[in-house]
Amino acid sequence: MKSAEEDAYGYTPNVSLSLPLGNPCLPSQYHSLQSSPTISVSVSEPHSYDTQDDMRAAGYYSSSSVRPNGAPTLESPRIEITAYGQFPEDEVEESNLPVAKRVNSIVTLTLPSADGYRDPSCLSPASSISSRSCHSEASSYESGFSYNYDNSPQNSPWQSPSVSPKGSTLALPGDGCTSGGSPRHSPSTSPRTSLTDDNWIGQRGSRPNSPCGAKRKYSFNGSGAPHKHFPYSPNHSPGPSPQISPRISVTEETWLPNTNQYTNSAILAAINALTTDGVADLGEGIPMKARKTSQEHNPSVSLKVEPGGEELSPGELCLDDHPSNRLPLKKEGYCGGFLDVPQQPYSWSKPKQYVSPSLPALDWQLPSSSGPYSLQIEVQPKSHHRAHYETEGSRGAVKALAGGHPIVQLHGYMESEPLTLQLFIGTADDRLLRPHAFYQVHRITGKTVSTPSHEALHNNTKVLEIPLLPENNMRAMIDCAGILKLRNSDIELRKGETDIGRKNTRVRMVFRVHINQPTGRTVSLQAASNPIECSQRSAQELPLVDKQSLETCPAPGGERMLLDGHNFQHDSKVVFVEKAQDGHHLWETEAKVDRDASKSNSLLVEIPPYRNQRLSTPVHVNFYVCNGKRKRSQYQRFTYVPASVPTIKTEPHDDYDAPLVCSQPGPGLSLHPKQYFPPQVMTPMMTPDLRPCVVGGAYSVSQPRLATKPSSLPSSSSPSTSPKLHDLSPSPFPKCLPAAPAVQHPGQQSPISHVSIIQETPGRYQPPNLYPPSSCSSSPTSQPSTPTDAPFSPTHCMTPGSTSPGAQQHPKVPERGRASLQEDGSPPTLAVSIKQEPQELDQMYLDDVNEIIRNDLSSISVHSHA
């Protein structure tokens, strides 16, 4: 079989393979997608959604309505979901769950399992600690080993070792984790773990696989290891952070309430459930895989208190669910906690915003801009950041390409009240943006960290909360976030986990901010960074294109394009490829590389002539740099335009500019940062267009771009942008334009199609709301937001899903959403969603996608008729 990469890149024609491994990429969702039919069904139900959507249309996420979104949604789906509960496992969790969740509705229940899957545990207990992977636990949990933990609050032990105090309280599902999952992991491993761990030790065993076990020195058990436990010892906390004081997160309380999230998640979950997978599961009694979505379900985002040092255990938070429990805890914590941060002025507490119960689930796609607000990544993170394992010490905070750290700014916010910026690690594949199963954000503390932060768990996903202060122009330097790698074996064993960790080493930093409106609504914005390669090896060996001097060229080619990046070799090849929507290669040709002018960090290539010299409309293709088999860069977008059309080079900015516009003007560099965004593969689905971001420029010009984000711009943009930061320009953000008609691929022609196509998410439906209309532009800023964000436009906008770069769009739903959604009034237009596929996807994946698309299209057409 091919490696995922290959597949992804696949240029191999043959390729088609199935996903190798399951593509990690494919999330469960995917699966669900496959079952497209199901999806559609759900969709239909969603009418209600629609309405809701409309309401929300704005893209705002209305918190107020609590369930608004969700509620309706929930209904149908949920029921099914409920079923979950039936499963033993589920039941268990439920029991664990705090009342709140239960209350939430059935829906919630469903999710739970899912939630569980991603263990919170993972979260590192302490920030540093964080590393421990909960997952493992989860897995263990699943295995049942963990009984012990289950009930006991501790469960989460590992989770939060730091947390300790609380820890006790909570129990979480995760717990399961506790038990043990992977013993190895965590706790043990980490030296830090508190002794307690031992106690925990239970057996986790589950994770046999991980080699680590053996290797790890730390493990208590030693080899046996598998059972290790987590330390969740209460106390402990390795505590990196000194400060113990827990900070309470402001929101906490608020958070509690978040039922909404549930809803969303719930919905998604429901959908998922509906999907085949779900079905199957049911049958088995085994909990379905919880899709990631599920995680979200949990509404709870529990904030963690961070102790200074510790963090909370995520698990706890989440887990515990009793509201009662949570609240108290959190608050306390918060209160105290805050001290840590020097910063001071800001107190977490302020952010009541969060309060809104219904914050969108982490896997929801949100726009980067809405109305006057625009969340932008002014300075993109470096394309490479070696994540650390639990067994290792921190590898520091993610840095910016030009030194320093990423910078995020909320434009258009004129209020005097501070807001909380949320950060979590998301996926960087073609699929919708969602929390990454194998990576967690890791809170960095220390002398070198100037930005206060604290961790919270959101359904097993660690979320770093950073204050956005008016006095700082609602800008924050992210020097407090590192990336923790969870062992693949730990995560993959978790029940609900469908993603594969192998070669799934690219992530994006996802930033969110929730702005309460006078109307009671909450506008939620999201911006995702450029993809960040977290693998040491990949970073050292895979060619990486940071920038390209040309984004478009007339069909005859012949122009020279300078590629800036890393790991280029003297014999590196640059291959242009065009794929059909179905993923088949339509065209592939190798560009001439001027070896003499090429260096390890730059390649000068001659644009090859397009296969069809008579273009009437721009055609998006992709190219990648290849250093040999299995060593290819991600796909980069490129657009051939009719010869008569003036080419615009550089424009990357434009592209996004337009949409993004908002943000900043792009630098005019020739090189676009774009980075690829995600490499996503372009699968057909994606069509190049999608890639949007990248495209940016090109599109912009001639076509409306999709709103792609500039994604590409990666860093560069950032940098450039950064300066601007100050401006808070409220600019209207552009909406993405999604509409743009984006360029379509030849294949795809109608935007619509795009839309439909996109769907990746089948499973997840997102309420329209989410996507605000505007968003499209998504992150304009800097980065390109990459795909991720989705925002890019079209996609995001539409999509609920996330943005992500890879994001795809949801099929129908999205569409609807779009239409209605766009509050801006913008017509939803487009929301074209595009989906990108992960490189890894195999053909299978592609095939599935295609099917989905077909289905979508069908449905779409139907709708349209309607």
Partner DNA sequence: GGACTGGAATCATCA
Partner DNA sequence: TCTGATGATTCCAGT
Contact footprint for DNA (CB under 7 A)? 1-6, 20-21, 128, 184-185, 189, 209-212, 214-218, 240, 386, 388-397, 399, 444, 446, 448, 485, 487-489, 501-505, 535-538, 540-541, 628-631
CB of 485 to DNA, least distance (A): 6
3-state SS class at 250? coil
Nearer to DNA, 160 or 489 (CB): 489
| CB closer to DNA out of 188 and 254 | 188
Minimum distance of DNA from residue 630's CB (angstroms): 5
Min dist CB 206 to DNA, Å, is 13
Question: Of 325 and 572, which has the nearer Cβ to DNA?
Answer: 572
Task: Pick between residue 178 and residue 391 the one whose CB is nearest to DNA.
Answer: 391
Q: Taking the mean position of all CA atoms in its chain, how far away is CA 755?
A: 20
Phi, psi angle pair for 409, to nearest 5°: -140, 140
Can you state the angle between helices 751-758 and 812-821, rounded to 10 degrees?
A: 120
Minimum distance from CB of 214 to DNA (Å)?
A: 6
Q: In angstroms, rounded to a whole number, what is the distance separating the alpha carbons of residues 571 and 862?
A: 50
**CA–CA dist 461, 440 (Å, integer):** 7
Select 389 or 733, whichever has its Cβ closest to DNA. Answer: 389
Which C-beta is closer to DNA: that of 317 or that of 387? 387
Rounded least distance, CB 225 to DNA, Å: 10
Grouping H, G, I as helix, E, B as strand and the rest as coil, residue 317 is helix
HSE, side-chain direction, 13 A CA sphere, residue 294: 39
Phi and psi (nearest 5°) for 424?
Answer: -145, 165
Other Cβ atoms within 10 Å of 393 Cβ, number: 12
Give whichever of 223 and 613 is closer to DNA, judged by the CB atom: 223
* Contact call for residues 654 and 712 (beta carbons, < 8 A): no
How far apart are CB 211 and DNA at their closest, in Å?
3
Instruction: Calculate ∠ Cα 387-392-393, nearest 5°.
Output: 90
Residue number with CB closer to DNA (126 or 303)? 126
Cα separations in angstroms, 205 against 232, 289, 800: 16, 20, 38
Closest distance between DNA and the C-beta of residue 240, in Å? 6
Place of tokens 């402001």: 250
In the complex, the smallest distance separating the C-beta of residue 633 from DNA, rounded to whole angstroms, is: 12
Task: Considering the complex, state which of residue 223 and residue 519 has its C-beta at the smaller distance from DNA.
Answer: 223
The smaller minimum CB distance to DNA, of residues 164 and 711, is found at 164
In the bound state with DNA, the residue whose beta carbon lies nearer, of 343 and 536, is 536
Beta-bridge partners for 508: 426
Shortest spacing between CB 476 and DNA, in angstroms: 18
Crossing angle of helices 36-44 and 812-821, rounded to 10°: 30
Q: Count CA atoms within 13 Å of residue 623 on its CB side.
A: 33
> Measured between alpha carbons, how far apart are the two ends of the chain, in Å?
44
List C-alpha distances in Å: 337 to 255, 326, 347, 677: 17, 16, 10, 37
Residue 135, classed as helix, strand or coil, is helix
In whole angstroms, the minimum distance from the beta carbon of 216 to DNA comes to 4
DSSP string covering 635-704: -EEEEEE-TTSPP--STHHHHHHHHHTTS-PPP--SSB--------B--TTTHHHHGGGTTHHHHHHHSP
CB of 803 to DNA, least distance (A): 23
Stretch (H or E) spanning 150: helix 147-151
